[in-house]
Amino acid sequence: MASKVLVLNGPNLNLLGTREPDVYGNETLADIEVKSLERGDFLGLQVEFRQSNTEGQLVDWVQQAQENFDFLIVNAGAYTHTSVALLDAIKSCNIPVIEVHLSNIHQREEFRQHSYISKVALGTICGFGGYGYELALEAAAKILNK
């Protein structure tokens, strides 16, 4: 049976493709979802893609993830830099987690250079735009098949 991967997206990522193309590219989140599902099919992974602007909803999804999924990929948006709640939820979640960012957060404002998610993620992929999600799926497939 195919391994199942949950991809969580945080606040304002639903606005992708509408503004700030110089920072985040021209792709919409729906475009990234289509490519992630296709890459998942190719890798033998069943991918589910979700987005919420609400911290509590993201925490609930992380808490529930281990019941139905084998792997978690998270772009927590701005909550990356603020959310101890998401850090705690990921810490107690028994499945591996990869952090993704479209932009290279280390080249941006100082407040974006710290990530609570990085403290508990297996690794972080940032700076490759929407392709970062596909890279994270490649890594997930490798780790799950080990």
Active-site residue, 106 included = no
Query: Token pair for residue 65?
Result: 């993830």
User: At how many degrees (to 10) do helices 84-91 and 55-68 cross?
Assistant: 10
Question: Counting contacts by CB under 6 A, is residue 60 touching ligand CA2?
Answer: no
Single out the residue of 27, 101, 120, 136 in contact with ligand CA2 (rule: CB under 6 A). 101
Active-site residue, 114 included = no
Q: Which of 41, 50 has the CB closer to ligand CA2?
A: 50
- Nearest alpha carbon to residue 67 among 97, 95, 41: 95
Question: Counting contacts by CB under 6 A, is residue 114 touching ligand CA2?
Answer: no
19/25 Cα distance (integer angstroms)? 9
Query: Token pair for residue 6?
Result: 């949950």
Single out the residue of 20, 38, 41, 60 in contact with ligand CA2 (rule: CB under 6 A). 20
Residue 53: CB atoms within 10 A of its CB come to 16
Q: Which residues are catalytic?
A: 24, 101
Q: Which residues bind ligand CA2 (CB under 6 A)?
A: 12-13, 15-16, 18-20, 24, 75, 77-78, 80, 101-103, 105, 112
